[in-house]
Amino acid sequence: MAHPAQLGFQDATSPLMEELLHFHDHALMIVFLISVLVLYIITCMITTKMSDKLILDSQEIEIIWTVLPAITLILIALPSLRILYLMDEINDPHLTIKAMGHQWYWSYEYTDYEDLSFDSYMIPTQDLTPGQFRLLEADHRMVIPVESPIRVLISAEDVLHSWAVPTLGIKMDAVPGRLNQTAFITARPGVYYGQCSEICGANHSFMPIVVEAVPLNHFEAWTALTLW
């Protein structure tokens, strides 16, 4: 959950988001080192009045400042490509949920069950109870079992939407007439918040996403109670 004046990302609750955070730190350190080197060179050029005729025209220096950026790009590209392929991996999901975007609410269908579907609307501000978050709470949460591979099929019924939960490292567009899919695993129980991340009309800010991860036995009890 984000908080005011937060400078970094939200805490990762999925292995994929942990990988994204590690890659962010890796790339940020490379950018920091490059910035320090460039600042040092600029400072030396401004403060030093002497020059060396041997470096005014040097083949070796040109080779160095061509090879070093190439190596730097490789150090950034390889981890990035690895994560891109990991984001597309969907291996034997334990549960499949279809999320449909509407103006302006989400509907969820648990396709592994015969009749388990519901609509999820934002709770109005005047109906919130103490401890609930404004513009983020929904009347029905998407409940999932913890530490289980979950596949989410995402589409829309009217206009473009985007199903995004930052702490899970997920952001997938919901396009009318197209079925996109993504997968994730929650590492621990909790309630994770997201919002539609594609401008979809007047009430774009009022269609939150709430994912509740619970132990498997609690999930089975929830499904039995919902189906009943």
Three-state secondary structure readout of 134-197: CCCCECCCEEEECCCCEEEEEEECCCCEEEEEHHHCEEEEECECCCEEEEECCCCCEEEEEEEC
pLDDT at 24: 93
pLDDT at 53: 66
82/165 same-domain check? no
Label residue 221 left, alpha or beta by phi (over 0 means left) and psi (-120 to 50 means alpha).
alpha
**Which two tokens mark 52?**
């060396």
179/74 same-domain check? no
Per the structure, how many domains does the chain have?
Answer: 2
67/109 same-domain check? no
In a domain, 8, yes or no: no
In a domain, 159, yes or no: yes
Q: What is the mean pLDDT of each run of 10 residues along the chain (228 residues)?
A: 80 91 93 94 84 69 88 93 88 92 93 90 92 91 93 94 93 93 92 92 91 93 85
113/171 same-domain check? yes
DSSP string, 56-114: TS-HHHHHHHHHHHHHHHHHHHHHHHHHHHHHH---S-SEEEEEEEETTEEEEEETTSS
What domain range is 76 assigned to? 15-48+57-88
> What's the pTM?
0.83
In a domain, 140, yes or no: yes
156/82 same-domain check? no
Report the CATH number at residue 140: 2.60.40.420
In a domain, 6, yes or no: no
The total number of residues written for the chain in this structure: 228
